[in-house]
Amino acid sequence: MPKRTDIKSILILGAGPIVIGQACEFDYSGAQACKALREEGYRVILVNSNPATIMTDPAMA
């Protein structure tokens, strides 16, 4: 799929609060999405109500 040049920013919605030991794959996939999109040159906006997630790390988001 070709890169869309009309899109400058992308909003990623996090999984929110999770139970310890469950749903960590949502955090991992969101973090990988942030990383990949930033490498492609997009401005990534992250909304996640879980402050303990790796996605909210300033270097990641």
Residue 17 is predicted with a pLDDT of: 74
pLDDT of residue 37: 93
Sort residue 24 into left (φ over 0), alpha (ψ -120 to 50) or beta: alpha
- How far is 27 from 23, CA to CA, in rounded Å? 7
pLDDT by 10-residue block (mean), the chain, 61 residues: 89 78 71 90 86 68 58
* Strand ranges, E, within the chain: 9-13, 43-47
pLDDT at residue 24 in the model:
67
Parse the chain into domains and list their residue ranges. 9-56
Query: What pLDDT is attached to residue 60?
Result: 65
Query: Which of the following CATH numbers is that of domain 9-56: 3.30.360.10, 3.40.50.970, 3.40.50.450, 3.40.50.20?
Result: 3.40.50.20
CA distance 49 to 39: 24
How many C-beta neighbours within 10 Å does residue 43 have?
11
Global pTM value: 0.72
Strand partners, 45: 11
